[in-house]
Amino acid sequence: MSPFDEAELIAANQAFYTAFERRDYAVMEALWSRSAPVACIHPGWDALFSRETVLESWRAILGASRTPTVRCSRARAFVFGDAAYVVCTESIGGADLVATNVFVREDGTWRLVHHQAGPVAHRIDEDEDDDLPPSGMLN
């Protein structure tokens, strides 16, 4: 993975969270793949499949009167040619979720094909070792 690929991927991932924060459906729509199959699993939801269904879910979330503020941190990028993923932490109102965002390179731009976020067992400490599971999970 070149530093250029990683930087572009992290920027695409951040654009996703910026669109979420700003409730910008037009940007959110532009971030999702137009040619590859897409899927999304929002916390507590069933899996959604197809660009149309996934984007309709984002339209509803971003259009809601009380869309939560989401902050992305601890983003780590993994690139494999024209496919890649980012694993990160989403902080929402004092709770942490772990998220995976999967991308494909489409017309020279990283586009989302999958987003999944779910709760973690404990609040993340910024000083924790990223490669070890939480204490108590080793047994």
CATH number of the domain within which 30 lies: 3.10.450.50
Domain extent at residue 60: 3-119
Provide CB contacts within 8 A for 36, sequence distance 6+.
104, 106, 111, 113
Q: Which residues pair with 100 in a beta bridge?
A: 87, 116
**How confident is the model at residue 135, as a pLDDT?**
35
Mean pLDDT across the stretch 87-103? 94
Helix (H, G, I), strand (E, B) or coil at 115: strand
Q: Is residue 131 part of a domain?
A: no
pLDDT range class, residue 134, cuts 50, 70, 90: very low
Q: How many CB atoms lie within 10 A of CB 40?
A: 23
Secondary structure class of 25 (helix, strand, coil): helix
Position 135 in a domain = no
**Count of structural domains, the chain:** 1
Is 86 inside any structural domain? yes
Q: Please say if the pLDDT value at position 111 is more than 70.
A: yes
Q: In one letter, which amino acid is 29?
A: E
The amino acid that residue 18 corresponds to is T
